[in-house]
Amino acid sequence: MKTILTTLFATAIAAVATAQRPDEALIRVKYNFSHMTDTNKRQNFFKETMMVTAGKNASVFSSYDNALYAEETKAALEQQSREQVGVATPTFKMPPRKKATSRAAVYYYANEHKLFIQEQLGAMYLVERDADKIDWKITLETQQIEGINCKKATAHYRGRNWIVWFSEDLPFATGPWILVGLPGLIIQAHDDRKEVMFEFAGLEKIENKQKKSAKKIGEEHDMKGFLGSSDSLTKNLIELPDKAIRATPEEIKKLREAMKKDPQGFIKTQMAAMGFGGLTPISTGQRTTPPPAEIMNNPIDKSKP
C-alpha cells in the first residue's frame, strides 16, 4: 500500500493540469435515485438524491445529499478551528452521517467528449477516459414531465436497456451517471427492469453571482484534497478539483483493495503522504444509521466482469 501511495503522490500531487477549462454553471437538475443493489432482496433499494450541474460544455454528476453533508461538515470544522486557535496539534471531529451517500462524481466535457471520474478514497483521485458513444434511438414519443417537454430515447448500454426522457428545450448534452450525448438534458431515466431509476426531482437556474467566502479550514491546513469540496451548491463554476491526484483504473482498484484490507492504516498512510502527519486522524463520529449492505451483485454497469 505504501508503495502505491508514494508513487501516486510523488507524480501527481500538483494541481491537475488539463485542457478542460472551467465552465459557467447554468442549470442544476435533481434526481431521486433508486438502485436495487442485491437481486436476492429485490424489494430493497438504495436511495439517494443526485444532481447534474450543467454549463454550455461541461457538466458534473454528483450526490446532492453528500453536498448537503459537506456544507454541514465545513461549518462544523470551521467552528472547531476557531475554538482551537493557537493549539499546536488541533483535533477535528466530523459530524455523523445520517445516511450513506456517494462521494464519487462524474465530469463530462461535451466538446472534447471526455469523462473524468472523481473517486474519494481518503484523498481525492481523478481518472480520465474518453466518453462512450452511446447508440441512442430517438423515438416519436413525447410527454411532459413537470411542465418540461420531453422526447423518449432508448439504448442498450453497459449491459442494460435504458429508457430516457430528454428535453431539447434544455440544450445540454448530459444526464445522470454517464448517460450523455443526446441533443438535450436527460430529465428522467431507468432501465427496462426498473432496477436503476433516476426520477426527476426538480430543476433550478443557477444565478451568476460571485460570492466572497470567509476563511476556510482548508486554507490553514490545506485539507481540501482530503475532505473534498464543500461548495458545490454555491459555486457557479464547473471545474475539475484542483487537489485531485491523477490515477489509472488499475491504481484505483489497488487502492480500494488496500483500504478494504486495513481501513485505519490506509487513512493514516494517506494523511502522512499528503503532509498531514502532524494532525490527529479525523473522527467520523458515532454512526446514527448502520452502514449499507456490502452485497453488490447488481451494479449499474453490468458490462463489468
Would you state the pLDDT for residue 198? 98
Q: Which residue has the higher pLDDT, 270 or 273?
A: 270
- H or E element in which residue 254 lies: helix 249-261
pLDDT digits (tens, 9 = 90+) for 204-244: 999 876 544 444 444 444 444 444 455 778 889 999 988 78
Span 1-24, average pLDDT: 51
Of the spans 19-28, 187-196, 208-217, which averages the highest pLDDT? 187-196
Cα→Cα distances 293→103, 163, 283, 289, 297, Å: 17, 28, 22, 12, 11
Residues 257, 245: Cα–Cα separation, whole Å: 18
Q: Is 64 exposed, middle or buried (0-12, 13-18, 19+ CB in 10 A)?
A: buried
Report the interhelical angle of 263-273 vs 2-12 (nearest 10°): 30
- The residues, any chain, with a CB within 8 Å of residue 268's CB and separated by 6 or more, are 281
Would you state the pLDDT for residue 179? 98
Cα→Cα distances 249→11, 252, 256, 273, Å: 16, 5, 11, 20
pLDDT digits (tens, 9 = 90+) for 95-140: 788 778 888 999 999 999 999 999 887 778 899 999 999 999 999 9
b/e per residue 113-131 (b: at least 16 CB within 10 A): ebbbbbbbbbbbbbbbeeb
Q: How many CA atoms lie within 13 A of 135 on its CB side?
A: 5
Would you state the pLDDT for residue 210? 53
- H or E element in which residue 200 lies: strand 196-205
- Per the structure block, which three cell numbers stand in for 158? 453497459
pTM over 0.85, yes/no: no
Residue 180 predicted with pLDDT over 50 = yes
Please calculate the CA angle 173-103-11 and round it to the nearest 5 degrees.
90
Cα 131 versus chain centre, distance = 17
Q: Which residue has the higher pLDDT, 299 or 242?
A: 299
Residues 292, 205: Cα–Cα separation, whole Å: 33
Residues 56, 213: Cα–Cα separation, whole Å: 25
Strand-pair category, 123-130 with 245-246? parallel
